[in-house]
Structure 1
């Protein structure tokens, strides 16, 4: 009789183990290594087959065909469960059974979560509270308590002979071999049941969290450039290169025309398509805020990450504008500023998102009655001749959600 009970206990333990494994393989969420996702139906777009509050159980599939009911990940609204009605190249076309329009988003296969396996009417209404963090925390505590309880039952079974007054060695030598095997199987069954309960709770916690989460996915870029200038002198012996070049003063008695250029570059951490417009001007001003603008290069369009803007201004023309100002106003300044400014406007796309920006650095000179000299400290400590500006294109991307359990992350 004891042998029969022993065999039955062993068989029961083995069957329980098999059932737990099969259930886990069949129903484990994708975030815990399984093949199944759980989706709460939140609208009426799939009526009459599915209703608001139903729980849809979907499984990953190796292929998806027209007519399948599939859940896909929409980049803005999250999981959507609709029917495939066709394909456009590598993208799938979806439509809700109750809708009279086709879904605007055309997901790739990588965006498909799984095909409908079965649904549980109204179960989603009961499961929705699990999406709240406080309920998830309670379930995790229950899971840990279940594991601890199972281990405690096993330990108490091992200590029970001593608590009942039996000799210490009786647990090992006083009983039969079959009794020892039975006791070990019973201990294993208790621990296995606790583990099954813990896994069930973790699955519920996993269900309560979205399949994916949105995380920042910002893309940085840099707009930079390099200024150069030169001016021919009547007496080339005044300079090493027979002319004033970038960094040299330009003497008004020796030179009139000043050639300037700006080489622009756009770089980014992701591949980008950039185009826009650029214009080059010289601005004459004084400390009071007065300003006159001279166009050096008219506005033109460009495409790509580089271009060069070039032009020239006349010191005599600028001197005439100063003379007119002083004669008409009676204001006489010791010096003026001349700023060469590229006016750049860009637009483009990076990482699937569009952006717009401007860039208008200045190469500034001081102009007095004798010379035009570069103001090397006019850019707040930065290199006046090589300006740059950082930009940021903000965005988000979806990644697989995880369940945090103490120091572990289950994904």
Structure 2
């Protein structure tokens, strides 16, 4: 079985072809980073227009690289939510058109499920497993018991970790995207020069909070400017190092509590601890979680760097997983959803409306 996957939920247009035996036949990503960099973040309208102008060419190039035609594809999967609704609509409508024209089923994929199941594409991981999903828009701890079977253990009550990285980079004048920029600066800095809070560390539960940490960085930066007349290179490096250290300590504390919660239901067996999403590319965070997994007798897994950020392969694979569970699946009646929590039974931490709870 072979599935074409389309990802357009934010600022990357991505297409891939993946088979049921876990081969990525073709994998292409067209980044919009340079387009959005001058604005310091993603502009939804510009992102949607870029998807419109690029997606059909990218699909054609991906099929050519895979040496396939639509006749060889068994289903078309597309990110249907959560995300920027303009971009989602471009991907969903293109996928539905392809599926209709070729007589193949359309599979609606939750973007978060794509990240959650990536480890099963790259490694032989069985259910259940504990997942830390951390990216620019999401920061959650989830118990993954099967395809479509997710229990949320914790989520952010304000900013996601990746969002905090981006905003910290912006206020320090490091540009966009912020995550890699902060990590590069942190490698040059002294993490102990500035004292920053470690949000919710030691508190009950598994939720996250990064808004206050970002504010603390801003106040320290303002103090540096008032005392030294400007924000110098060493100030930026030391602030980034302290910020990254605070994020690492907060994440490991929350994950450790989630391990305890997870084991209360599944016992002391050595289960997988999986980290996914764009922030999973951060080497300091990976190293800390590898250490934690070893101490807690968990088996650490992380997606390869090229599959941490948004990509079409994870969407194709999630579509495949769903199709293998329900061979007659066809989601032609499903529309783009800007909000789509993985655990739809979990209470909303940060608001809800007509479109549902925030992810």
TM-score (norm 1): 0.20
| Structure with bigger gyration radius | 1
More contact order relative to length (CA 8 Å, sep ≥ 6):
2
Instruction: Name the structure where strand makes up a greater proportion of residues.
Output: 1
Greater fraction of residues in helix = 2
